[in-house]
Amino acid sequence: MSQLVRFGVSLDGDLLRKFDEHIREKNYSNRSEAFRDLIRQELIAKEWEIGEEVAGAVTLIYDHHHRELLNKVTDLQHDYQHAIISTQHVHLDHNNCLEIVAVRGKPDEVRRLAEILRAIKGIKHCTLSMSSTGKELV
């Protein structure tokens, strides 16, 4: 485990008040926890920029009655099976399904998969949640 280090930060008073409000809204117990999360978020963004192995989730909402959509999604998942760790399919109602695709790989490839899925006719909504494999995070 790494050593805990304390350091000072100088901030404009208004910025600090807004940050403290943010901390309360997000239910952080203190500023240190919030700062740690902000720093980690920037480090994860850096991983996505420099092309390290990353992890994330592609979330899809679609109408399963849309013709050929399921075949296209399944075919694409087979094409990208090296980057797909797992999928979960949820029936939201009679028409709408939620699919969560857990991914790991190079950022460009993961983004490309999300872009191709997003462009399939019948996909109502598609998001890519970018995260980390955790290897470089403290």
Mean pLDDT of all residues in 109-123: 96
pTM of the model: 0.82
Mean pLDDT of all residues in 89-114: 96
What are the strands, taking DSSP E only, across 37-122? 54-63, 84-91, 96-105
**pLDDT for residue 1 is more than 60:** no
Residue 20, phi then psi, degrees to nearest 5:
-60, -40
What are the strands, taking DSSP E only, across the chain? 54-63, 84-91, 96-105, 123-132
Q: Kindly indicate the confidence band of residue 51, based on its pLDDT and cuts at 50, 70 and 90.
A: confident
Q: Kindly indicate the confidence band of residue 136, based on its pLDDT and cuts at 50, 70 and 90.
A: confident
pLDDT value of position 101: 98
